[in-house]
A and B are shown apart, each in its own frame.
Chain A
Amino acid sequence: MVALAFRNLTLGYDRHPAVHHLETEISSGSLTAIVGPNGAGKSTLLKAITGVLTPLEGRVIFDEITREDVAYLPQKSDIDLTFPVSVTELVAMGLWKEIGAFGRLGRKGRERVQEAIEAVGLAGLEKRAIGALSGGQLQRALFARLLLQDAKVVLLDEPFSAIDARTMSDLIGVIRGWHNDGRTVLAVLHDHETVRDHFPQTLMLAREMVAHGPTPQVMTQANHSRARRMCEANPGDPILCEVTAA
């Protein structure tokens, strides 16, 4: 079964394409790593799936799910760490889909928030202000919020950049949990070892798709060199093709 399909998807900013004619499918319940050189369009692709970015051409097709079912953890969140919000309050935001702007959190909701906090190993820090958390702790809190979002599709943009090894292995545990629940997970990653060890599927991007399939078949030396060549061949903003429908 297919969760997401990209049909001739061309994405970009200010009419300059960054991802070209992407044509592939993400099967439901798959755990996929998105890899590629810098500037390959990995983050751009995630933004298009969330709907923040409108495609220049083509489209993202959701099968049996809607945008509401997609949760997204951006690479550089613009969370205001000076804003007086506690860990509990940050995590509780994950229940927005259920309680919205006016619903009550309730006892059940509080319990679920607590469970999520414990699941990411932040028990004891519930009342801590988010500004007083370390980078790893903040990332754990954001994962707890994702847990509560209960999304069918989870998008993670470089979730392990600048965090310690212990946090990373705990968070990989959370991701595996999602995989076991049958959720579809797409993660932009840089560390090849992490990809090979934990992600069965890989989508390699270099402004266009290099390869997509089982990780061992995608993560080959030949593909890596090809990806690097494709990005280096077009530094700056290449016009590889004309965009017809803007």
Chain B
Amino acid sequence: MIWDTFIAPFADFGFMRRALLGCFAIAIGSTPVGVFLMLRRMSLTGDAMAHAILPGAAVGFLISGLSLGAMTIGGLIAGMVVAVASGLVSRLTVLKEDASLAAFYLISLALGVLIVSTRGSNVDLMHVLFGTVLALDNAALMLLCSFSSLSLIVLAVIFRPLVLECADPQFLRSVSRLSILTHLVFLCLVVMNLVAGFHALGTLMAVGIMILPAATARFWAASIGGLLAIAVLVAMLSSAAGLLLSYHYGLPSGPAIILVTGILYVLSLIFGPIGGVLAKVLPRRHYQS
């Protein structure tokens, strides 16, 4: 029974194993980035970035069809341009980050829609929007794993400046010139992970695996290390559970994975010991020896 439900689908079918590996790669790569997005109150930035990537990927798709390379490069270029431009605008002008980002991603989105519609072909962009986690080929898996590893390495390298940039940006600026660079590298990490994510989960769902586990972890851990560990665990657990759900009940796998993280999030929201609803409502016992 346990074997049939939980193990057999992965043991019997190669595509399920590939999907699991792909999802784990995304979970390990993008969830830590999501934790920092959440801590910097930039959760919606991930969503905006995903919209900014979409046109780039669409252009890649139009030029060379369902080509992994073209769509990846297109998405990366569109995302990086929006990230760097909005980052620079917020540092150099009066416009705040949220407004400048909104401006650039809307421009990017409009441009993408324009390009797609002038080409006129009834292009199937479902792949870009919702991903194909059950049809990951070797090249796609290699790409996901490389992006994930690269993301972890870069995050490890910029970890200390990034924490300072989040906690006390004024101080970082007073002791070093790394502030702007750290911010831009971090935005590039967001873009890179979203591009990796859209191959499996689609541009829209890729944000889910980035942000939802981070928000879930907030109710269970207080330290950065704890947040990162729990968020990655939640993402991996949801990936496996979501794939099994989609296998047994014939559901689309991307949304199934994100909905499982959603369920974990709502449960944590209620039962989480750190700032959860119950923890706030129930009186805490104190002064007991």
Chain B residues with Cβ below 8 Å from A79 are 167-168, 170-171
CB contacts under 8 Å to B, within A157-175, are none
Interface size on A, residues (CB 8 A): 26
Of all chain B residues, the one with the shortest Cβ separation from A76 is: B170
Per a CB cutoff under 8 Å, which of B160, B170, B223 touches A74? Answer: B170
From B11-19, B173-181, B190-198, B240-248, give the one contacting chain A: B173-181
Chain A residues with Cβ below 8 Å from B69 are none
Per a CB cutoff under 8 Å, which of A52, A85, A86, A97 touches B175? Answer: A97
Interface size on B, residues (CB 8 A): 23
CA–CA, A71 to B157, complex, Å? 26
8 contacts between A and B (CB under 8 A): A79-B168, A79-B170, A80-B39, A83-B39, A83-B163, A93-B164, A100-B176, A101-B160
Does A129 lie at the interface of the complex (its beta carbon under 8 Å from any beta carbon of B)?
yes
**Distance in Å from the Cβ of A151 to the closest Cβ of chain B?**
10
Q: Are A50 and B174 within 8 A (Cβ)?
A: yes
CA–CA, A94 to B39, complex, Å? 22
Chain B residues with Cβ below 8 Å from A50 are 174
Does B161 lie at the interface of the complex (its beta carbon under 8 Å from any beta carbon of A)?
yes
A100-144 contact mask (Cβ, 8 Å, vs B): 1 or 0? 111000000000000000000000000001100000000000000
Report the tally of A-B residue pairs with Cβ distances under 8 A: 57
Does B222 lie at the interface of the complex (its beta carbon under 8 Å from any beta carbon of A)?
yes
CA–CA, A89 to B164, complex, Å? 10
CA–CA, A74 to B168, complex, Å? 11
Does A6 lie at the interface of the complex (its beta carbon under 8 Å from any beta carbon of B)?
no
Does A78 lie at the interface of the complex (its beta carbon under 8 Å from any beta carbon of B)?
yes
Does A84 lie at the interface of the complex (its beta carbon under 8 Å from any beta carbon of B)?
yes
Of all chain B residues, the one with the shortest Cβ separation from A149 is: B175
Q: Are B161 and A84 within 8 A (Cβ)?
A: no
Does B227 lie at the interface of the complex (its beta carbon under 8 Å from any beta carbon of A)?
yes
Known: A80-B39, A84-B224, A85-B163. 6 other contacts (CB 8 A): A74-B170, A79-B170, A83-B39, A93-B171, A97-B175, A102-B160
Of all chain A residues, the one with the shortest Cβ separation from B182 is: A101
Q: Are A84 and B222 within 8 A (Cβ)?
A: yes
Does A62 lie at the interface of the complex (its beta carbon under 8 Å from any beta carbon of B)?
no
Chain B residues with Cβ below 8 Å from A72 are 174
Does B65 lie at the interface of the complex (its beta carbon under 8 Å from any beta carbon of A)?
no
Chain B residues with Cβ below 8 Å from A80 are 39-40, 166-168
Chain B residues with Cβ below 8 Å from A97 are 175
Q: Are B161 and A78 within 8 A (Cβ)?
A: no
CA–CA, A108 to B174, complex, Å? 24
Of all chain B residues, the one with the shortest Cβ separation from A74 is: B170
Of all chain A residues, the one with the shortest Cβ separation from B169 is: A78
Chain A residues with Cβ below 8 Å from B163 are 83, 85, 89
Chain B residues with Cβ below 8 Å from A96 are 164, 175-176
Q: Are A129 and B222 within 8 A (Cβ)?
A: yes
Chain A residues with Cβ below 8 Å from B164 are 93, 96
Known A-B contacts A85-B163, A93-B168; the reply to A101 vs B224 at CB < 8 A is no
Does A221 lie at the interface of the complex (its beta carbon under 8 Å from any beta carbon of B)?
no
Q: Are B169 and A84 within 8 A (Cβ)?
A: no
Of all chain A residues, the one with the shortest Cβ separation from B224 is: A84
B213-245 contact mask (Cβ, 8 Å, vs A): 1 or 0? 000000000111001000000000000000000
Does A48 lie at the interface of the complex (its beta carbon under 8 Å from any beta carbon of B)?
no
Per a CB cutoff under 8 Å, which of B166, B174, B176 touches A52? Answer: B174
Q: Are B166 and A83 within 8 A (Cβ)?
A: yes
Does A90 lie at the interface of the complex (its beta carbon under 8 Å from any beta carbon of B)?
yes
Q: Are A101 and B168 within 8 A (Cβ)?
A: no
**Distance in Å from the Cβ of A182 to the closest Cβ of chain B?**
22
CA–CA, A85 to B166, complex, Å? 10
CA–CA, A96 to B165, complex, Å? 13
CA–CA, A145 to B172, complex, Å? 13
**Distance in Å from the Cβ of A246 to the closest Cβ of chain B?**
17
B8-51 contact mask (Cβ, 8 Å, vs A): 1 or 0? 00000000000000000000000000000001100000000000
Chain A residues with Cβ below 8 Å from B39 are 80, 82-84
Q: Are B222 and A78 within 8 A (Cβ)?
A: no
Q: Are B167 and A83 within 8 A (Cβ)?
A: yes
Q: Are A78 and B168 within 8 A (Cβ)?
A: yes
CA–CA, A166 to B154, complex, Å? 45
